[in-house]
Structure 1
Amino acid sequence: MSPARVARGINPLRHADDRRMPRIAGPCCMVMFGVTGDLARKKLLPAIYDLYNRGLLPPSFALVGFARRDWEDQDFGKIVYDAVRAGARTPFREDVWRNLSEGLRFVPGSFDDPDAFTELANTVKQLDEERGTGGNIAFYLSIPPGSFSTVCQQLDASGLTDQKNDSWRRVVIEKPFGHDLASARALSEVLERVFPPDSIFRIDHYLGKETVQNILALRFANQLFEPVWNSHYVDHVQITMAEDIGIAGRAGYYDGIGAARDVIQNHLLQLLALTAMEQPNSFDAGGLRQEKEKVLAAVSLPDDLGKSTARGQYAAGWQGSKKVIGYLDEDGINKRSTTETYAGLKLEVHTRRWAGVPFYLRTGKRLGKRVTEIAVVFKRAPHLPFADTDTEELGQNAIVIRVQPDEGVTIRFGSKVPGATGMEVRDVTMDFGYGSAFTESSPEAYERLILDVLLGDPPLFPRHEEVELSWKILDPIERFWARQSRPEQYPAGTWGPHSADVMMRRDGRTWRMP
């Protein structure tokens, strides 16, 4: 696709003839495992209502919940109703809800109960006859990864994965995609025994954010940026995902996983790949994956991981005006836990474009503020025709892509101070915000991703090759940390452990303060 088409506001991740026409899913049914969990109630169910309310799902759309609950269909309907009223982003309309609720069904049972899956197959068949779902089914596994194998085997044994005529079957799984390279490969083998690779959708909700997708538009639709997007002009890149909350009752999941596995392996390495990739020959799924995989395959670790990584664990401190407890005092956390809540590391991408440019990645909980951003920091001008005192407050130019919470782009550059005697130059910023520039609101990430699943549109979903390449990067770091002492403590509300700052100072650099 030409940059001109991107510049006209056409989404580069679409390949339909008219990208400005709404993309509406065809007849289909979604079976959701894990409907009682927080993700389903807070994100998935509201997103389905919003899609239906926007007219992006067919009138015949059906949703089947499966869980170990003694519920009738009307009980499940009340759960969906409450979730929609609490979390939907579009206005609640009684007529829309009435039409959607007519396609709601619930099947009680456990994952190891063959009779429950027989009942599920009968329910799906009945919905197809009543509502005309075309025999198309998406299975959303919002469940712990340890249950994937059991559910897939039951789906296969009950005939639910059999595709008839032109119908399709797809499966959706949430991260984590394994906890290391070996487990990621084992997970792929489990899924691919039942579903073809093109029917497996691994959801990384960060890739559904409009700003992340606009990295491609920013780079490839603008002659202004792409010529300087390389090692000749870029000094380094910082990719940050900071949270101001603690583990928020997720001790059972988080302890033993940690910040690096939870965020860096998926979110941040995907952001790195989008930032560093070459322009693909096309913006379809194959073209995008090929270029991202080239970047991930070219990533290398520094020789000394002790000097090029940092890990920490939040201690008690102040989050704003509130006193908060440390990680080891959270409910459900072992007092001797060595799980990190902060991870920082330095990577290099050995390609012609990025040779010699370090990429610094960091993520953590209980940090100074909630923010996710990509900062491309440029080298200083080789010569400044000013006195040193004129530019003593001048930093390095930077392009900062804000992913959350205020999506947009900030450009930092030097400008003369108005009214100053002589040529005094100081940093200023030029800011672009998506919310103020466009009248239409960005869809919630799960809206975009669920719709893509139902359309069979795969560009935003990583395949197993990308997942395995990411684990090849992270596994050596995890093994190194496992041989070290406890993570360094850092007070809640600060920007992480002292070792993270030391890591940057060794290279003559500092972390940005978002």
Structure 2
Amino acid sequence: MVSRVIPVEPFDLVIFGGTGDLARRKILPALFRRFCAGQMRGDERVIGAARAEMSTKDYRAFARAAITEFDDNDACAAEHLDGFLRQLSYVALDARSDAGWAELGAALRKGRIRAFYFSVGPGLFGDLAERLYQWKLADAQSRIVVEKPFGRDLDSARALNATLAQHFDEAQIYRIDHYLGKETVQNLMAIRFGNTLFEPLWNSQYVDHIQITVAESVGVGTRGEYYDRSGAMRDMMQNHMMQLLCLTAMEPPAKFDPAAVRDEKLKVIRALDPMTPENIVRGQYEGADGRPAYRDQVEAPDSRTETFVALKARVGNWRWAGTPFYMRTGKRLKARASEIAVVFKDAPHSIFGADAGHHRNILTIRLQPNEGIELGVTIKEPGPGGMRLIDVPLDMSFAEALGPDSDDFPDAYERLIMDVIRGDQTLFMRGDEVEAAWEWTDPIIESWQEAGDDPLLYATGSSGPDDALALIHRDGRRWREIRP
């Protein structure tokens, strides 16, 4: 099965921070894959912009090396890469002075969609927005793309939104969260709102609880300096996990358009009950098997930064009254796995008796790895000897169900960058959404700081602190096993 590719309109894309790690690992390889897929017509310009002195020839060599290292699609022949590289150019500029901005203006073409990717720290967002305005490089049709973190608390998020709003309308600002670009995340909406089978059951009357897990097997690696100022709550829970919760819990939008979808997501955040200390656990990984502990990696022997968070959230509305959402995320866990599991209630009465055992339907949306959807159903165990029940999965792996070409579906950055060019904000966070998420998150972080407690230590390769198991066990439930 081959996905339908619709070419986008010709565009000029400027990557501020064009020599940085994000551009090297994600942005340039994503653009190249879209070029190979035929979504770019060949009349596009990708302009790298950074402080480093570099020629266009040097930048093309930089991009070639990045694509060779991080693109694993062998279907793109050498002639495709050469064609893509011809669309690249480079301008050396300074975000905090006028150096290079005239050259950037000369490189941009009239009559083209202009997109500006702020692949830099948020401290430069205001400077870049101001320079684009002063040099008249952005018009009403231009778009800017900003990466997280969208602030580190409510006050900084409001300040950041206000800074961008000085020169850009909300409709021009694309706050990118790569989790929303994943094929399976979008399929969550298709499953809910495109199938009569599920939506009538998607409420507290039939759903016992929902588990959202984003587990990583790696540690902080080279991100230690950033991560020690952030922690799992700011780095994952406030944005990625919150977005997964919103898509799972939101009401059906009136139609599938950016405003309607984001309105419903915002309602979920505003309906969240305040978090209480007994419903949240934070942890920090220890070293094992030659792998360093977190505090060794960040060279801070007394660091209280959490690398694991588990919590029980409640959405205070009619649909979800009484249904808990258990969420957990952490580093150095037993496997890399991300999933949303909707655990349905038991049948109101079992006709098979106590010997039949305990069985439940569970709908699992696997985000990574092995993207797919699994529905657990109860059947009779084959063979004689009475009615013995077993649970079996109805499993749709994308790779198996959609054929070998499913691997060619665009990854998150490919999809989201093309959505920017098309002007589709459905999968991007709105400013009031970001602020509402911080408004819920800030009291949690403040309570930790006031208490001054150390996070609970957990073993590398485990499922997290024992208290995280107790968080759900005391409700008579169990976490699903973290498995790849």
Give TM class, smaller chain.
over 0.9
AA matched with 1:344: A
Q: Does 1:408 align with 2:385?
A: no
Q: Residue 285 of structure 1 is aligned with which of 240, 258, 269?
A: 258
- Matching of residues 357-368 of structure 1 within 5 Å: 357-368=323-334
- Say whether the 8 Å CA contact 1:301–1:346 is kept in structure 2: no
- Which deviations, in whole Å up to 9, do the C-alpha atoms of 1:240-275 show, x marking residues without a partner? 000000002101211120111111111111111111
Q: Does 1:205 align with 2:171?
A: no
Return the alpha-carbon distance in structure 2 between the equivalents of residues 68 and 35 of structure 1.
Answer: 9
Q: Residue 470 of structure 1 is aligned with which of 437, 443, 446?
A: 437
2:163 maps to which residue? 190
- Which deviations, in whole Å up to 9, do the C-alpha atoms of 1:20-68 show, x marking residues without a partner? 8632221211110112222111111011111111111131101111112
- Matching of residues 416-495 of structure 1 within 5 Å: 416-419=380-383, 421-439=385-403, 440-441=405-406, 442-484=409-451, 485-495=453-463
1:313 maps to which residue? 284
1:369 maps to which residue? 335
SS of residue paired to 2:363:
strand
Shift of 1:162: 3.8
SS of residue paired to 2:473:
helix
Unpaired runs of at least 5, structure 2: none
1:3 maps to which residue? none
SS of residue paired to 2:428:
coil
Return the alpha-carbon distance in structure 2 between the equivalents of residues 248 and 256 of structure 1.
Answer: 14
Return the alpha-carbon distance in structure 1 between the equivalents of residues 205 and 123 of structure 2.
Answer: 47
Q: Residue 224 of structure 1 is aligned with which of 194, 197, 203?
A: 197
SS of residue paired to 2:157:
helix
AA matched with 1:335: P
Return the alpha-carbon distance in structure 2 between the equivalents of residues 85 and 325 of structure 1.
Answer: 31
- Which deviations, in whole Å up to 9, do the C-alpha atoms of 1:123-171 show, x marking residues without a partner? 22xxx2xxxx6243111011111111122222222221245xxxx2110
Identity %: 43
SS of residue paired to 2:151:
coil
Q: Does 1:105 align with 2:89?
A: yes
- Say whether the 8 Å CA contact 2:15–2:118 is kept in structure 1: yes
Q: Does 1:63 align with 2:41?
A: no
1:497 maps to which residue? 465
Q: Does 1:338 align with 2:315?
A: no
SS of residue paired to 2:99:
helix
Equivalent residue pairs, number: 476
AA matched with 2:98: P
**Is the alpha carbon distance of 1:494 and 1:21 closer, same or farther for their aligned partners in structure 2, counting shifts above 3 Å?**
closer
1:155 maps to which residue? 132
Q: Does 1:40 align with 2:11?
A: no
SS of residue paired to 1:324:
coil
SS of residue paired to 2:49:
strand
AA matched with 1:414: T
Unpaired runs of at least 5, structure 1: 1-8, 10-19
SS of residue paired to 1:479:
helix
Return the alpha-carbon distance in structure 2 between the equivalents of residues 382 and 283 of structure 1.
Answer: 35
2:347 maps to which residue? 381
Return the alpha-carbon distance in structure 1 between the equivalents of residues 78 and 257 of structure 2.
Answer: 38
2:219 maps to which residue? 246
TM-score by length of 2: 0.95
**Is the alpha carbon distance of 1:134 and 1:333 closer, same or farther for their aligned partners in structure 2, counting shifts above 3 Å?**
farther
1:16 maps to which residue? none
1:114 maps to which residue? 98
Shift of 1:88: 2.5
- Which deviations, in whole Å up to 9, do the C-alpha atoms of 1:398-446 show, x marking residues without a partner? 1111111111111123222222522222322221111111133221111
Q: Does 1:136 align with 2:96?
A: no
AA matched with 2:71: A
AA matched with 1:475: D
Shift of 1:223: 1.4
1:15 maps to which residue? none
Q: Does 1:87 align with 2:70?
A: yes
Return the alpha-carbon distance in structure 2 between the equivalents of residues 420 and 481 of structure 1.
Answer: 58
Relative to structure 2, which stretch is displaced further, 406-415 or 454-463? 406-415
AA matched with 2:279: S
- Say whether the 8 Å CA contact 1:241–1:362 is kept in structure 2: yes
SS of residue paired to 1:257:
helix
Shift of 1:377: 0.8
Return the alpha-carbon distance in structure 2 between the equivalents of residues 52 and 403 of structure 1.
Answer: 25
TM-score by length of 1: 0.89
Shift of 1:235: 0.7
Return the alpha-carbon distance in structure 2 between the equivalents of residues 295 and 258 of structure 1.
Answer: 24
- Which deviations, in whole Å up to 9, do the C-alpha atoms of 1:164-200 show, x marking residues without a partner? xxxx211001111111111111111111111111010
Shift of 1:289: 1.1
Aligned CA RMSD, in angstroms, stands at 1.7
